[in-house]
Amino acid sequence: MAGPDTLDEYREKRDFSRTPEPPGEREATSLPIFVIQKHHATTLHYDFRLEADGVLKSWAVPKGPSLDPKEKRLAVPTEDHPLDYADFEGVIPAGSYGAGTVLVWDRGTYQNLTEKDGRKIGVAEALGRGHVSVRLEGEKVRGGYALTRFRTGKGEAWLLVKMDDAEADPTRNPVATEPRSVVSGRTLEEIAAEEDG
């Protein structure tokens, strides 16, 4: 379990007297979780988050996850988020970091599949090495996915790619056809309208 300092950047960027986002108190669970949040900030994107070392390791995926193994999706790393962020849905107020509407697009548990030379490698170590393979058990997205770093340094960037397994389906595009929250059943527009009201 990592120390609380891994959430320093997350907390420094936010004024919790203004934003409804959680400051982070939830403890790790027995099965690691993942969440994909649809986030309409400056631009619409999907935040892909994996539980590791007591926090949610996070990437912004502009086009969201694909079920087609031939499609490579850009994933830009962002700061670690607290585990209770997996339940966050609402509007981050204007003038705040990440201002905009957030919904829980998909969530579930995941299994780490990362190995090197026949040895299982932990998620945190795998991310440090620049490659992690996981099996997602979500409501919209299931099966194997690989995250691979292809650029380091200031413009660090990764690729999120669906593995070619039984859950791969190039004909299905849940990003386009399944816009609603798996928690509340609402769309981004409905969440924004309710928060305004």
For each of the chain's 197 residues, which pLDDT tens digit applies? 444 458 888 888 888 888 888 777 767 667 899 999 999 999 999 999 999 999 999 999 999 999 999 999 999 999 999 999 999 999 999 999 999 999 999 999 999 999 999 999 999 999 999 999 999 999 999 999 999 999 999 999 999 999 999 999 999 999 999 999 999 999 999 999 998 76
Specify the pLDDT at position 12.
84
Specify the pLDDT at position 17.
81
Distance between CA atoms of residues 189 and 12, nearest Å: 28
- Looking from the CA of 105 toward its CB, the CA atoms found within 13 Å total 24
What one-letter code names the amino acid at 50?
A: L
